[in-house]
């Protein structure tokens, strides 16, 4: 039986994965926050070594992109150096390690969409710290890791999704007549539910390498809002606005869209589809 050690169990993705693991009858040690702090590296290494897992699912991260920009040291400590310790502990235990990276590792090149053959060039500290986390995994657990780069993650569902999609759905339900969404920044969607299903399968097969995991299509938040409006038969107007209307600490690239060359060769099931279909499935979970 696999001994699974999971970090970030309270996060969006961690919540899906812990529940999917339960559905499949796996038991996981979910890192106890009182013993697991991304800033306390010695304790992280000792905790993982003591648990002696066969599998490590590392989801914990400092995910606040603007906070990372204001406090780059925190980004480096939590997303890079903590991951390095986890990778070292994985190697010491002979465990398979999964690390979730981000489409934020791309953007400076100014392309519309990036595949696995593109060389990452982040535009902000969050992206750099996640990229350094990737490199730490490759250097310290070289033969037994899987890195999945996710796009704008959607998940949580009714009452729990306080991110962009959840907010748009809520505004429509609250009777808004006009919605605004940024049209000059692009990315790709990743369904946390789909990613969770894929992780369980990849874990069972001990898949290795670096893959992009996102629905097909590079889109703006305006495109997403319009698609939600169509699904929910919204009668009001949806206005495109420029990102300069919402100044943020961290620069966002023109596009962090990702696509995968290699994912289809890895698996025929549990892989993302067209973005509108994957979004529609998620929005449907808010109804009924």
Residues near ligand NAP (CB under 6 A): 8-14, 33, 36-39, 59-63, 78, 100, 102, 130, 150, 152-153
Looking up tokens 């392309």 gives: 111
Closest residue to bound ligand NAP by CB: 11
What positions carry a catalytic annotation?
A: 126
| H helices present in 37-81, as ranges | 41-51, 65-70, 72-75
CB of 175 to ligand NAP, least distance (A): 28
CB of 178 to ligand NAP, least distance (A): 26
Hey, what are 56's tokens? 């490590």
Do the beta carbons of residue 81 and residue 133 sit within 8 Å? no
Q: Which residues contact 288 (CB under 8 A, 6 or more apart)?
A: none
CB of 77 to ligand NAP, least distance (A): 9
Closer of 97 and 234 to ligand NAP (Cβ)? 97
Q: How far is CA 72 from CA 15, 68, 104, 156, 254, in A?
A: 27, 5, 15, 28, 21
Closer of 54 and 71 to ligand NAP (Cβ)? 71
Closer of 38 and 234 to ligand NAP (Cβ)? 38
Closer of 13 and 227 to ligand NAP (Cβ)? 13
CA angle, residues 134, 135, 138, in degrees to nearest 5: 90
- Tell me the three state secondary structure of residue 207: coil
CB of 173 to ligand NAP, least distance (A): 22
Strand partners, 195: none
CA–CA dist 76, 39 (Å, integer): 10
Closer of 74 and 180 to ligand NAP (Cβ)? 74
Do the beta carbons of residue 251 and residue 125 sit within 8 Å? no
Q: What is the bridge-based pairing of β-strands 237-241 and 178-182? A: parallel
Closer of 156 and 229 to ligand NAP (Cβ)? 156
CA angle, residues 110, 114, 115, in degrees to nearest 5: 155
CB of 236 to ligand NAP, least distance (A): 27
CB of 232 to ligand NAP, least distance (A): 22
CA–CA dist 30, 5 (Å, integer): 6
User: Residue 234 gets which letter from DSSP?
Assistant: -
């Amino acid at each position: 039986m696999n001994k699974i050690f999971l970090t970030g169990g309270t996060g969006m993705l961690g919540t899906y994965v812990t529940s999917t693991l339960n559905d499949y009858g796996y038991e996981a040690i979910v890192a106890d926050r009182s013993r697991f702090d991304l800033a306390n590296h010695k304790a992280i290494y000792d905790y993982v070594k003591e648990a002696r897992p066969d599998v490590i699912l590392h989801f914990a991260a400092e995910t606040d992109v603007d906070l990372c920009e204001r406090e780059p040291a925190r980004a480096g400590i939590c997303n890079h150096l903590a991951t390095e310790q986890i990778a070292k502990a994985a190697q010491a235990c002979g465990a398979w390690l999964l690390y979730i990276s981000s489409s934020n590792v791309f953007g400076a090149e100014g392309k519309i969409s990036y595949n696995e053959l593109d060389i990452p060039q982040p535009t902000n500290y969050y992206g750099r710290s996640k990229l350094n986390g990737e490199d730490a995994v490759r250097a310290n657990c070289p033969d037994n890791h899987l890195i999945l780069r996710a796009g704008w993650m959607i998940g949580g569902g009714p009452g729990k999704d306080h991110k962009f999609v959840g907010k748009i759905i809520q505004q429509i339900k609250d009777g808004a007549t006009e919605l605004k969404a940024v049209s000059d920044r692009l990315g790709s969607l990743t369904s946390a539910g789909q990613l969770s299903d894929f992780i369980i399968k990849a874990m069972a097969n001990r898949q290795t390498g670096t893959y992009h995991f996102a629905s097909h299509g590079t889109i703006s938040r305006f495109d997403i809002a319009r698609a939600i409006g169509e699904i929910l038969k919204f009668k009001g107007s949806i206005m495109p606005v420029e990102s300069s209307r919402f100044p943020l600490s961290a620069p966002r690239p023109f596009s962090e869209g990702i696509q995968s060359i290699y994912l289809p060769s890895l698996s025929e099931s549990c892989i993302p589809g067209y973005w509108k279909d994957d979004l529609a499935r998620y929005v449907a979970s808010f109804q009924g």
